[in-house]
Amino acid sequence: MIQLSLWNSLLDFLFPPHCPLCHAYVEERGSWCPSCLQRCGGPHRLLLPAAGQRRIRFAWALGGYRGGLRSLVHDLKYRRKKSILPYIDTYLRHVRENHLFLLPADLDVAVPVPLHAARERERGFNQVEAIFARALSVRQLPLERLLQRQAVTQPLYRLTPGERRHVVQHAFSAAPGAAIAGRHILLLDDILTTGTTATACAEVLMAAGASSVDVLVFASDYGK
Ligand SMILES: [Zn+2]
């Protein structure tokens, strides 16, 4: 125990804990400075287009996709820096303690938007699971991979928005043997840009008999 606290003091001396965004010194490893934390915006409801609203009961983002949250998502997704996860946990705790944000009480299971297998192998993990794992275990909501995703073979940038939607819509399906029917499902993603992915996943889940689908994403500027 003594050795551990000595080690931590040495670590703090060599690498002082700092805010992930402005690099100001903070008291504890994994903490943010109050002003950067404030600028993340906090939880807000996402009003999706009609196609999404037909399948999705509520959609929420826990903060804006800018500043601190945007750089954390980029570090995790594109630089595979799992070392930033304590900052994400701190943000999620901050939301729990400082904002009136309640998920529906009837949820049975959380389902991450899947990556296709090759992408997950390349990244080494699913960033959605990494973001939410600790918060879900606090809430005792099981995380189950009930969806799967096929690789998109053609480059999306060549397609019109309508064609792109069609391709995304057909990329998702229920995982083999997935228990979906009769369950209230919380669909999780890291970000929401147009809502096409969330809507496509919700469509698969509702078609497989889910009782309801709510969506929770870490960060989004949708509708702003
Ligand atoms: Zn800061």
Instruction: Read off the pLDDT of residues 22-68 as tens digits, 9 standing for 90 and up.
Output: 989 998 888 999 999 888 989 999 999 898 999 999 999 999 998 88
Q: How far is the CA of 22 from the centre of ligand 1 (A)?
A: 4
Cα distances (Å, whole numbers) of residue 21 to 18, 29, 92, 190, 212: 9, 14, 16, 19, 37
Of 186, 157, 155, 152, the residue nearest 169 (C-alpha)? 152
Q: How far is the CA of 98 from the centre of ligand 1 (A)?
A: 18
pLDDT at 1: 53
Q: How far is the CA of 101 from the centre of ligand 1 (A)?
A: 24
- Indicate whether 155 pLDDT > 90: no
Q: How far is the CA of 191 from the centre of ligand 1 (A)?
A: 22
Of 31, 36, 29, 1, the residue nearest 15 (C-alpha)? 29
Cα distances (Å, whole numbers) of residue 224 to 38, 55, 66, 188, 212: 18, 22, 12, 20, 26
pLDDT at 184: 98
What mean pLDDT comes out for the span 204-215? 97
Q: How far is the CA of 68 from the centre of ligand 1 (A)?
A: 8
Q: How far is the CA of 192 from the centre of ligand 1 (A)?
A: 24
The hierarchical CATH code for the domain 16-220 is 3.40.50
Q: How far is the CA of 33 from the centre of ligand 1 (A)?
A: 4
Q: How far is the CA of 145 from the centre of ligand 1 (A)?
A: 35
For residues 22 and 36, the answer to whether their CB atoms sit within 8 Å is: yes
